[in-house]
């Protein structure tokens, strides 16, 4: 059974600093997704990483995927308060019978302090 | 706005009752997914439908059931409600092409409170 682990689960950082969130998964998959969730709100798609070595950037966020290491990172550059949210990674999972679903990590709650 | 709609936004009910949550996917999306999000359990996948047929099951209780109708909207039925069923219930949709789940687009959620 596919397991997805994120760390850290809680991250408090100062504005202007850099940090990385890690997402490890237990079985082979070529697709990884990052989502953002603001408190009490829905999940918003940030990135889709489709192959080994894929890198995507938007604003202060950059995501990468290493399928051999089964690892994705979400790097935050020069954090600002607006980035405070919970970030989830999710991985494609082929279930018994060939059906497919996403398996989500527990999420990383990021708080950016002034 | 993801294009996925859910009703109602809030629901307050009593233990033992039954409720129905409704979801309309994005135009063109054939797959609908249901998730439960609570503080202690995180985001839990419940069930997926693709073009009217059940495709994948997750941690869905026997008291819960779902269906997807010919117009592709979906309903999640929760019965014999317990206090622990209080949570945020999300619906998500995707195109659902074979070989990849693809990006899922989440609705705004239904917040259920069981008293």
Give the model confidence (pLDDT) of B54-70 as tens digits: 988 888 999 999 999 99
The H-or-E segment that residue A60 falls in is none
Instruction: Tell me if B101 and A31 make a contact (CB, 8 A cut-off).
Output: yes
C-alpha span between B49 and B76 (Å, rounded): 11
Average per-residue pLDDT for chain A: 91
B62: left (phi over 0), alpha (psi -120 to 50) or beta: alpha
Mutate to test the interface with A, among B35, B36, B56, B110 (most CBs of A within 10 A): B56
Compare B32 and B1 and report the one with higher pLDDT: B32
| Residue in chain A nearest B55 by alpha carbon | A99
Return the number of CB contacts < 8 Å for A and B: 53
Q: How far is A40 from chain B (nearest CA, A)?
A: 9
**Amino acid B22: pLDDT:** 98
From residue B49, alpha-carbon distances to A20, A41, B27, B95 in Å are: 35, 23, 15, 12
Whether the CB-CB separation of B31 and B49 falls below 8 Å is answered with yes
pLDDT at residue A47 above 90? yes
Cα dihedral sign for B70, B72, B97, B61? negative
Query: What's the pLDDT band for B79 if we cut at 50, 70, 90?
Result: very high
Residue B12 makes CB contacts below 8 A (sequence gap 6+) with: B113, B115
Query: What's the pLDDT band for A14 if we cut at 50, 70, 90?
Result: very high
**Amino acid B101: pLDDT:** 64
Whether the CB-CB separation of A8 and A74 falls below 8 Å is answered with no
The H-or-E segment that residue A59 falls in is none
C-alpha span between B111 and A70 (Å, rounded): 34
């Amino acid at each position: 059974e596919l397991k997805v682990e994120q760390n850290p689960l809680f991250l408090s950082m100062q504005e202007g600093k850099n940090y990385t969130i890690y997402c490890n998964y237990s079985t082979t998959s070529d697709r990884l997704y990052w989502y953002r969730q603001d408190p009490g709100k829905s999940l918003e798609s940030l990135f889709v990483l489709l192959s080994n070595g894929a890198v995507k950037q938007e604003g202060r966020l950059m995501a990468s995927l290493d399928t051999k290491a089964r690892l994705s990172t979400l790097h935050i550059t020069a954090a600002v308060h607006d980035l405070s949210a919970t970030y989830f990674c999710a991985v494609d999972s082929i279930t018994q019978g060939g059906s497919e679903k996403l398996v989500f990590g527990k999420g990383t709650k990021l708080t950016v302090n002034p | 706005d993801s294009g996925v709609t859910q009703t109602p936004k809030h629901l307050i009910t009593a233990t033992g009752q039954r409720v129905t949550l409704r979801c309309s996917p994005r135009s063109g999306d054939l797959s609908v997914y249901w998730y439960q999000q609570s503080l202690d359990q995180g985001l839990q996948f419940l069930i997926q439908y693709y073009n009217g047929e059940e495709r994948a099951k997750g941690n869905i209780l026997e008291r819960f059931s779902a269906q997807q109708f010919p117009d592709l909207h979906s309903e999640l039925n929760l019965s014999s409600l317990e206090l622990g069923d209080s949570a945020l219930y999300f619906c998500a949709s995707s195109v659902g092409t074979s070989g990849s789940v693809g990006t899922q687009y989440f609705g705004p959620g239904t917040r259920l409170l069981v008293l």
